[in-house]
């Protein structure tokens, strides 16, 4: 399947709603277009998923056989790796080399979770209680079963299309669920190829069902559907709250990986050259369009000026450009809407007297590019750009004096997705890790990941965990069984 064939196939998909253009964020020109699938398509997809689940064609298949099919998905992803990378690079504007690094990680989701197909088991319990309605418990046996939820809706965002798709589809398959997959309307390209790969690998018809449409149409219909038992969503906190409200009809279970305003603490004893470079890349990579990007940096006062200058120097020297521009390291924002949002925060900051050390403007060229921006003199109590998730290449840097002040500043947020501390004092590092209110804390490193390590948020950054054992169990429910012997 060639890149052009994916673009053509997307255009041919049936639908009853509005025609949705897919825009190249580098050129601002249309790549292709597709039709919103419409509410009837959502009902049909849920019905197919329900039928496949009730038939047992997937979840009743022996775990070893499901694992073989998931390995085939991974092998096919390796075969189509360049196509997947080119699609995501074209669709998001990210450097091709970045997309090429991501795709092998995505394939490994299926290999990793293939192993769990034969390893998720319930537990036997020795009954300890005495007495009870039926008398003694001496001859009682109790155990638990792990069973798939059934039909699940998987909704993922535009900032890492194929990565986010695989992070949800792989554990849902391992758990035995049937799913409806809904990519962001901005980035539908790689999801279409992935859907073809899943079918080619031998996943039975109806087990994975792709829907394309707007969030407020297809996404809303999916989250409110009475025959969907669970929704797993990655995206903004605002939309996450809407999904919670929509799930109330049948009290469907919800897993949410939401926004962040991640703090980075840099101490005066840190390896400053490394801390400066990693903190800069930790916010400017992908133009800050990452939920774990470190958008609030706090620096111990003795090295504050050096760190501000260092991060600003990195920002000034990062080349922005499209996938085919030599030396380009930083991609554009995804859309005109996102560009307007980011520039709006910057304009408000200028009116409030924020100091712009570097950046702060749209790049003078075609495409949705915003200069990597370093801000100081920000009021933590009143500044919206300090408090709210911008999802752009914008970082605020403030000084601190001691651990207590650093932790207080870091935790003063409604979010709690990730946090980082840079210090060579390992005792301090681990003490700080316990005090930071975040689902992931990195010490002397940033933007690290492993399929086996759970990922989730504190506070308004989400519910539940992805990756690892927690990731597959998120798509399963526990049944307790009692037996009189």
Candidates 185, 186, 229, 257; catalytic one: 257
- What span, in angstroms and rounded, lies between the C-alpha atoms of 294 and 270? 17
Q: How far apart are CA 485 and CA 465, in angstroms?
A: 38
Q: What is the DSSP string of 268-291?
A: TTS-HHHHHHHHHHHHHGGGG-ST
Check 117, 166, 291, 293 and give the catalytic one: 291
Please work out, in degrees rounded to the nearest 5, the angle formed at the alpha carbon of residue 230 by the alpha carbons of 224 and 234: 85
Catalytic status, residue 37: no
Give bridge partners of residue 356 from the DSSP assignment: 375
Distances (CA, A) of 133 to 136, 142, 359, 483, 485: 9, 16, 72, 14, 16
Told to judge if 257 belongs to the known catalytic residues of this protein, a careful annotator would answer yes
Judge contact between 162 and 84, C-beta under 8 A.
yes
Report whether 299 contacts 308 (CB < 8 A): yes
User: Residue 455: beta bridge partners?
Assistant: 466
Burial class (CB in 10 A: 0-12, 13-18, 19+), 294: buried
Give the span between the Cα atoms of 294 and 213, in whole angstroms.
31
Q: Is 125 helix (H, G, I), strand (E, B) or coil?
A: strand
**DSSP of 396-427:** EEEEE-SHHHHHHHHH-SS--SEEEEE-S-HH
Give the whole-angstrom CA distance, residue 220 versus residue 38: 11
CB 90 within 8 A of CB 189: yes
- Partnered with residue 179 across adjacent β-strands are 152, 208
* Token output for 179: 């799913």
Cβ proximity of 439 and 460 under 8 Å: no
Q: What are phi and psi of 463, to 5 degrees?
A: -125, 135
CB neighbour class for 476 (10 Å; exposed up to 12, middle 13-18, buried from 19): buried
Active site residues: 257, 291
């Amino acid at each position: 399947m060639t890149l052009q064939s994916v673009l053509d196939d997307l255009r041919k998909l049936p639908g009853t709603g509005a025609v949705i253009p897919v825009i190249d964020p580098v050129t601002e020109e249309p790549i292709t277009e597709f039709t919103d699938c419409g509410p009837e398509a959502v009902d049909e997809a849920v019905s197919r998923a329900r039928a496949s689940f009730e038939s047992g064609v997937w979840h009743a298949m022996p775990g070893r056989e499901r694992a073989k099919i998931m390995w085939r998905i991974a092998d096919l992803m390796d075969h189509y790796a360049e196509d997947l990378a080119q699609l995501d690079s074209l669709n998001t504007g990210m450097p091709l080399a970045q997309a090429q690094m991501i795709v092998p990680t995505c394939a490994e989701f299926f290999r990793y979770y293939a192993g769990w197909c034969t390893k998720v088991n319930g537990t036997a319990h020795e009954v300890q209680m005495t007495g009870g309605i039926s008398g003694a418990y001496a001859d009682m046996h109790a155990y638990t079963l792990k069973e798939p939820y059934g039909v699940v809706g998987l909704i993922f965002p535009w900032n890492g299309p194929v990565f986010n798709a695989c992070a949800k589809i792989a554990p849902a398959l391992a758990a035995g669920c049937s799913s409806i997959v809904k990519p962001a309307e901005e980035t539908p390209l790689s999801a279409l190829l992935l859907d073809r790969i899943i079918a080619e690998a031998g996943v039975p018809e109806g087990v994975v069902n792709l829907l394309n449409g707007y969030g407020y149409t297809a996404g809303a219909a999916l989250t409110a559907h009475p025959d969907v038992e669970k929704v797993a969503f990655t995206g903004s906190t605002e939309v996450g709250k809407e999904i919670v409200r929509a799930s109330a009809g049948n009290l469907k279970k919800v897993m949410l990986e939401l926004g962040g305003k991640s703090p980075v603490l840099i101490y005066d004893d840190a390896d400053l050259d490394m801390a400066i470079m990693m903190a800069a890349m930790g916010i400017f990579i992908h133009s800050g369009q990452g939920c774990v990007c470190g958008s609030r940096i706090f620096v111990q006062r003795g090295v504050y000026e050096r760190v501000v200058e260092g991060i600003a120097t990195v920002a000034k020297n990062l080349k922005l450009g499209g996938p085919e521009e030599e030396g380009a390291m930083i991609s554009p924002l995804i859309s005109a809407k996102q560009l307007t949002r980011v520039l709006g925060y910057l304009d408000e900051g200028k009116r409030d007297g924020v100091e712009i050390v570097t950046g702060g403007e749209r790049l003078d060229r075609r495409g949705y590019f915003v200069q990597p921006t370093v801000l100081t003199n920000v009021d933590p109590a009143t500044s919206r750009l300090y408090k709210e998730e911008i999802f752009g290449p914008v970082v605020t840097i403030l000084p601190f004096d001691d651990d207590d002040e650093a932790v207080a500043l870091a935790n003063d947020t409604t979010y709690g997705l990730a946090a980082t501390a840079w210090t060579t004092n390992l005792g301090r590092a681990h003490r700080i890790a316990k005090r930071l209110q975040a689902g992931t804390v990195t010490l002397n490193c940033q933007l690290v990941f492993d399929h086996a390590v759970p990922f989730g948020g504190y506070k308004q950054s989400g519910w539940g965990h992805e990756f690892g054992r927690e990731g597959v169990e998120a798509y399963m429910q526990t049944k307790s069984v009692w037996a009189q012997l």
